[in-house]
């Protein structure tokens, strides 16, 4: 098979296809985002990887899902259709945690909303199935990956079945997908039917019986997890403990007597050489030129001059779905690969000297947590950093420091920022202070954003985050180093309200912390229950799936509003919510004129409170005079 890598965008129209001399594409790739040929976008990676293996891929970006002809641009593909709902979950993209419509879609030209449907993967799948009944359909991306088995759906407040069933697709590729998509393509190209492709790691398929399914773990039947929250929590935790490519079992979920969903174990992580090869493919590194008239794709503004150095995360935050999607084993690119890409950035006519980011899910994770992970994978029921660092955890920033040094030494580079997130506990556990020193000296510009998320240890424990004392220690070290460097640089904390375990008293603790900081955070994230996280399981079931112990859950929209308002108590619009929250928490002592108070009393209560304060003041003066007279 002749492999020719074109230094151009992949075809988006029949005309583009014919210019390449093609009469048919092998795969038509239907995506919910605008077409951006940049490796920060999953469809760009998958399409370029397929191209590098000799397959012809055509892109159908944001088709009109009400018109069948919108997915017939290239005619019937030789091997099948691929579907990705987008770089971001469609429902999160469309709705706030309050279930209100967002005003902008950063992955659409001009930021326009409404160019893709809710639950895009399902809608596109059914559109294709109606139009090309016998064409293989393979779904992937974050939306499919996190819904591969029965899951809780926040937007409908119900347990939904595998997206493989609702989309009408034949096969689901979960995780990052480079390995599985090539294996699927090769199998189809060899003449295998899509129904016979049941052996690929990192895929999910439908089965009418378990006769040919081996070495599997049978999960609780879907009807039972739909009707029992306890059964849901137990089933979810089995899934959670089988997300590792080395130890993960094959999982089976039964729907009817003749209907099963089978999840094969995850794909193995890419080696450094394989990672380099993926990121060396001929990406155009920008959005399709047809979008220029609309002002381009907003998401590209930050990504255009950012560098991906790694993927995966062993941080283990319970509200994050990375365990289910990218996994806990770190995969990193070589210095040479990243520097080579940085040189391409520098040549860009719009480069202004600033590299916006060098990182991944967690910027300062550049190697596996321990040597064991390289051959045996991550421990199924044990975290690397929580509640304390594992004795086998390798804490070392030397490689990352060397990489950053090489990048900031490049000509025309004024500053290299780190914006994808620093894991401050991992940093502070490092006995070598070099990274923190260089971070403050070279890679911060006034403010460093970190994510303590909360200050109450009760909530932090359920988040899978270190206790607050670790964060306070980090702040002290950060302040000490900046003082030594003669720099005035501050920490901006990301905070989260309404996470399971956060009752009103815990929410008030967070408000008091904000008060003591002396400013009101602009960015506050309400906990968002997205599929496939431990925290979402807690939210839905009221149980911690690891221990099956009950967990308090702030579920009503009113309580969520109050918890958020407490963090932003200085906003006059939040007064009524803050007052009500303080009364519920039994903390009316925080309503008054003292500098420790969050809000002043209402006008009707003001005179009473002033009278009480005046009486207190008079008594204090009398007591002072009495003591003086006695002396």
**If you write DSSP's letter for every residue of 389-456 in order, what string do you get?**
--TT-----HHHHHHHHHHHTSTT--EE---S---HHHHHH-S-THHHHHHHHHS-BSEEEEEEE-S-
How far apart are the C-alpha atoms of 180 and 203, rounded to whole Å?
A: 7
Looking at residue 337, what is its pLDDT? 98
What gap in Å lies between CA 69 and CA 118, rounded to an integer?
20
What is the CA angle 343-347-353, rounded to 5? 80
pLDDT at res. 1: 41
Give the relative orientation of helices 398-408 and 335-347 as an angle to the nearest 10 degrees: 30
**Cα angle 269, 274, 279; round to 5:** 110
Query: Please, are residues 351 and 345 in contact by the beta-carbon 8 Å criterion?
Result: yes
Ranges of residues in the chain with a pLDDT under 50 are 1-2
The number of helices, as runs of H, and strands, as runs of E, in the chain is 24, 24
Q: Which helix (H) or strand (E) holds 457?
A: helix 457-463
* Token representation of residue 283: 């990406």
Residues making up the chain, counted from first to last: 631
CATH class of the domain defined by 446-600: alpha beta
80 backbone φψ class: left, alpha, beta (φ>0; ψ -120 to 50): left
Average pLDDT, the chain: 93
Q: Which of 417, 370, 437, 427 is nearest to 397 (CA)?
A: 427
CA atoms within 13 A on the CB side of 332: 19
Instruction: Say if CB 77 and CB 28 are below 8 A apart.
Output: yes
Which string of DSSP letters, residue by residue, matches 319-374? Answer: T--HHHHT-SS-EE--HHHHHHHHHHHHHSTT--SEE-EEESSSTT--S-SSTTHH
- Between CA 205 and CA 373, with CA 214 as vertex, the angle to 5 degrees is 85
With both helix axes pointing from N to C terminus, report the angle between 272-279 and 42-52 in degrees, rounded to the nearest 10: 100
Topology of domain 14-205, per CATH?
Answer: Rossmann fold (3.40.50)
| Measured distance CA(81)–CA(71) in Å, rounded | 10
CATH 3.40.50.2300 domain extents, the chain:
14-205
Asked if residues 417 and 445 have their Cβ atoms less than 8 Å apart, the reply is yes
Please give the C-alpha separations between residue 434 and each of 335, 397, 404, 442, in angstroms, as whole numbers: 19, 8, 12, 12
Q: Give the three-class secondary structure for 496.
A: strand
Per residue in 258-308, pLDDT (tens digit) is: 899 999 999 999 999 999 999 999 999 999 999 999 999 999 988 999 999
Give the Cα separation of 41 and 116 in Å (integer): 17
* C-alpha distance from residue 66 to each of 63, 110, 123, 257, 492 (Å): 9, 22, 10, 34, 45
Residue 550 forms beta bridges with which residues? 543
How much is the pLDDT for 2? Answer: 46
* Every domain range in the chain assigned CATH 3.30.750.200: 446-600
- The whole-angstrom separation of Cα 528 and Cα 540 is 12
């Amino acid at each position: 098979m002749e492999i020719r890598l074109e230094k151009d965008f992949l075809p988006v129209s029949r005309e583009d296809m014919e210019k390449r001399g093609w009469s048919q594409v092998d795969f038509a790739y239907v995506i919910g985002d605008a077409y951006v040929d940049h490796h920060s976008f999953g469809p760009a990676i998958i399409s370029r990887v397929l191209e590098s293996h000799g397959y012809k891929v055509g892109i159908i970006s944001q088709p009109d899902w009400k018109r069948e002809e919108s997915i017939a641009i290239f005619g019937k593909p030789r091997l099948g259709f691929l579907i990705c709902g987008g770089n971001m979950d469609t429902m999160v993209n469309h709705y706030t945690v309050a279930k209100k419509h967002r005003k902008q879609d950063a992955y659409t030209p001009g930021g326009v909303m409404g160019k893709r449907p809710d639950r895009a993967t399902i809608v596109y799948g059914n559109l294709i199935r109606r139009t090309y009944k016998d064409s293989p359909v393979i779904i992937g991306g974050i939306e499919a990956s996190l819904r591969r088995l029965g899951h809780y759906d926040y937007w409908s407040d119900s347990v939904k079945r595998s997206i493989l069933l609702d989309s009408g697709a034949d096969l689901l590729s979960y995780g990052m997908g480079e390995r599985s998509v090539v294996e699927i393509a090769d199998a189809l190209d060899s003449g295998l039917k899509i129904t016979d492709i049941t052996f690929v790691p990192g895929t999910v398929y439908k089965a009418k019986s378990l006769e040919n399914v081996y070495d599997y773990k049978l999960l609780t039947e879907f009807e039972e997890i739909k009707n029992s929250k306890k059964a849901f929590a137990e089933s979810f935790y089995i899934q959670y403990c089988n997300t590792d490519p080395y130890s993960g079992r094959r999982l089976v979920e039964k729907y009817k007597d003749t209907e099963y969903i089978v999840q094969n174990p995850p794909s193995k992580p890419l080696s450094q050489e394989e990672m380099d090869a993926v990121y060396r493919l001929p990406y155009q590194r920008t959005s399709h030129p047809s979008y220029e008239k609309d002002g381009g794709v907003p998401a590209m503004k930050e990504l255009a001059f950012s560098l991906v150095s790694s993927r995966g995360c062993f941080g283990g935050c319970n509200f994050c779905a990375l365990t289910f999607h990218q996994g806990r084993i770190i995969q990193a690119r070589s210095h040479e690969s990243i520097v080579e890409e940085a040189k391409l950035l520098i040549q860009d006519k719009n480069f202004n000297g600033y590299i916006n980011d060098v990182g991944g899910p967690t910027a300062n994770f550049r190697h596996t947590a321990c040597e064991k992970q390289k051959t045996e994978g991550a421990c199924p029921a044990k975290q690397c950093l929580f509640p304390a660092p594992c004795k086998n955890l390798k804490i070392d920033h030397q490689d990352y420091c060397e990489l950053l040094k090489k990048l900031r030494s490049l000509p025309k580079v004024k500053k290299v920022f780190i914006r994808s997130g620093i894991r401050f506990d991992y940093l502070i556990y490092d006995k070598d202070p070099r990274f923190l020193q260089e971070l403050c000296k070279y890679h911060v510009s006034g403010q460093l954003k970190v994510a303590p998320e909360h200050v109450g240890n009760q909530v932090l424990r359920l988040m899978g985050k270190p206790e607050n004392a670790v964060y306070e220690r980090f702040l002290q070290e950060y302040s000490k180093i900046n003082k030594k460097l003669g720099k005035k640089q501050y920490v901006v904390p990301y905070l989260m309200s309404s996470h399971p375990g956060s009752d009103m008293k815990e929410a008030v603790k967070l408000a008091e912390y904000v008060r003591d900081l002396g400013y009101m955070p602009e960015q506050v994230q309400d906990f968002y229950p997205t599929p496939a996280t431990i925290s979402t399981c807690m939210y839905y079931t009221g149980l911690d799936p690891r221990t099956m112990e009950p967990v308090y859950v702030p579920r009503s929209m009113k309580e969520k509003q109050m918890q958020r308002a407490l963090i932003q108590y200085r906003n006059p619009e939040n007064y009524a919510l803050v007052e009500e929250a303080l009364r519920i928490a039994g903390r009316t002592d925080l309503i008054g004129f003292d500098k420790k108070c969050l809000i002043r009393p209402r006008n009707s209560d003001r005179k009473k409170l002033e009278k009480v304060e005046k009486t207190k003041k008079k008594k204090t003066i009398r007591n002072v005079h009495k003591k003086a007279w006695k002396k």
